[in-house]
Structure 1
């Protein structure tokens, strides 16, 4: 199951740089993960300073 970013996201961009497949981009309210591109590695979750990323 792909990772998801909650509304707790502060749009710092740390996760985007940590994604090895480029599945994360800036959305309207906060960063978003493209579920089809996500390889479920969890690298983004480790990069998030506010813990806004979890496996959905």
Structure 2
């Protein structure tokens, strides 16, 4: 259930413009009570078909 809320927050956050993983992690950890780890965020980003990788920095 927690990853569902994380997925929804990520999709809403990415609606403005593309963001990198560090920006997404910072946003999730600052807006959610318990936040997430970089490992869990990576899993969510890689498994969700609606979120696509735009490029490399």
TM-score by length of 1: 0.30
Q: Relative contact order, CA 8 A, sep 6+: which one is greater?
A: 1
Q: Which has the higher helix share?
A: 2
